[in-house]
Amino acid sequence: MENLFSLAADNLVSPIILSFVLGVAASLARSDLSIPEAAAKALSIYLLFAIGFKGGVSVAAHGIDARLGLALLAGIILSAALPLVAFGLLRVMTAMSRLDAAAVAAHYGSISIVTFVAATSVLESRGIAAEGYMVAVAAAMEAPAILSALWLVARGGGGDSKGMDGALMREIMLNGSIVLLVGAFLIGWATGEEGLAEISSFIVSPFKGVLCLFLLDMGLVAGRGLRQGGGILTPSVLAFGVLMPLIGAAAGLATALALGLTPGGVTLMMVLSASASYIAVPAAMRVALPEANPSLYLTLSLGVTFPFNLTLGIPLYVAVAQAVTGG
Amino acid sequence: MQTHKAKRVEITIEGVMQSRLTDALKKAGVTGYTVLPVLGGSGKSGEWSRAGQVSRASGMVQVICIIRPERLDGLLEGAFAVVERHIGVVSVTDCDVLRAERF
């Protein structure tokens, strides 16, 4: 417990979290502070490339084992199954329609790559090693949740669903984030430590500074979302936004322990299962379920679950992973 | 100077639907159109701004095409099939163009 409080305190006063808090505060105070759209995109490209590359280098250094395939499979199953749990919870806890509940549920099966990047940064700063292939698991967990949500809607009549056509599937599987993450992972894997040495001054040293700026922007967006969509956050909806990541993290913990992952790997599996998407899934929902309320799912995933995971969730998951693995 | 009657169709739609809309326009025989980014606005779904959106799901674009009047119905049928269930606005105005053979 002492470890948990120490981790949480360290995390809360880190430059990364304080940058996020600054963004939220500035946005809530209606400051005109903003990160230009192109700059924010460049920052996200940098972070995805760096995290993918470093994951690939780690796999090159430590080799691959059967766990990689099993971890990928487990990630896909978690992504597909968690929306079913989220959907059931939403229908019991809130007054959301079936359509809105399915759309929200899809976000909680998929992942937030920024939360994953922030967790990786915390693990690195604490010297906790993690399996490099967790980057590939993150990519594999993006899409299955969307299929589960569409199935939930179809099961309830399906009149509101446009379903999954080939174009939508291609957009989801080949969205820029996944292509960059997996591509950088493969480059890192192919070039290994030598490749990393060549570009480490670019992708290692500036990493945390860039992450701070990116989280400043995320804070601005989250604050704006809370300001504009805060009205939809009833106590029960808000409770779901905090409860569901804990349920997801517990499922991720059980899965990671069954796979025999390292403490870092356990933490990242918990983070992936606990996080909610706000990039790939909202775009897919706008195409497939246009009648679902975007304010609901964006405010929940970006305004509630993302800040929760970033500030309290990550240190909690690290502490639990260390406690149960003895790491 | 000689001018010719034409129809200007403006379709403001979610960014995620852009390629689906332009594909539908091409199928309807419309080969010329312009896509503009939309900075922000306010409507039935509330106020929004392009600044700081992390998801392209939240962005809007405007597709503008100028066509001969006799091709309007085909265009609208194709476009409506795409935009029917989505946030957006479709408007048609009369306009004059200088070089009719281009439309």
**Per-residue pLDDT at B54:** 62
pLDDT(A22) > 70: yes
Question: Coil, strand, or helix at residue A65?
Answer: coil
Q: Which range in A78-92, A228-242, B2-16 is most confidently predicted, on average pLDDT? A: A78-92
- Residue in chain A nearest B20 by alpha carbon: A167
Start-to-end CA span in chain B (Å): 18
C-beta of residue A271 within 8 angstroms of C-beta of residue A314 = yes
Tell me the C-alpha distance between A207 and B35, whole Å.
35
Residue A226: which pLDDT band, with cuts at 50, 70 and 90?
confident
Question: Do A290 and B47 lie within an 8 Å CB cutoff?
Answer: no
pLDDT digits (tens, 9 = 90+) for A167-180: 788 888 888 888 99
Instruction: Report mean pLDDT in 10-residue bins for chain B, 103 residues.
Output: 92 90 90 90 74 65 93 90 87 91 77
Q: How many domains does chain B have?
A: 1
Predicted local confidence at residue A167, as pLDDT: 78
Check whether A159 has a pLDDT greater than 70: no
- Which residues 6+ apart lie within 8 Å of B5 measured at CB? B69, B94, B95, B96
Give dist(CA A293, CA B58) in Å, integer.
12
Q: Which amino acid is at A28?
A: L
Higher pLDDT, B97 or A294: B97
**Residue A113: pLDDT over 60:** yes
At A36 the pLDDT is 84
Q: Is the pLDDT of residue A312 over 80?
A: yes
ipTM higher than threshold 0.95: no
Structural domains of chain A, count = 1
The rounded distance, in Å, linking the Cα atoms of A55 and A268 is 12
Domain that holds residue B45: 4-102
Q: How far does A191 lie from chain B, in Å, by closest CA?
A: 31
CATH number of B70's domain: 3.30.70.120
How much is the average pLDDT of A84-109?
Answer: 95
Q: Give the structural domain span for A236.
A: 2-325
Point out the residue among B48, B54, B85 whose CB comes nearest to the CB of A291: B85
Q: Are A207 and A50 in contact (CB under 8 A)?
A: yes
Of the candidates A40, A30, A69, A79, the one whose C-alpha atom is nearest the C-alpha of residue A274 is A79
Q: H-helix or E-strand containing A59?
A: helix A37-62
Average pLDDT over every residue of A29-38: 88
CATH number of the domain that A46 lies in?
Answer: 1.20.1530.20
Task: Residue B39: list chain A partners with CB under 8 A.
Answer: none
Count how many pairs of residues, chain A against chain B, have C-beta atoms within 8 Å.
58
Which residues in chain A are closer than 8 Å to B14, comparing Cβ atoms?
A: 286
Q: Which residues of chain B are within 8 Å of residue A295 when distances are taken between CB atoms?
A: 45-46
Provide the angle, in degrees to the nearest 10, between the axes of the packed helices A235-259 and A314-325: 30
Q: For the whole model, what pTM was predicted? A: 0.86
> What pLDDT is stored for residue B58 in this prediction?
66
Query: Is A167's CB within 8 Å of B54's CB?
Result: no
Residues A56 and A119: their CA atoms lie apart, in Å, by: 17
What's the confidence (pLDDT) of residue A276?
95
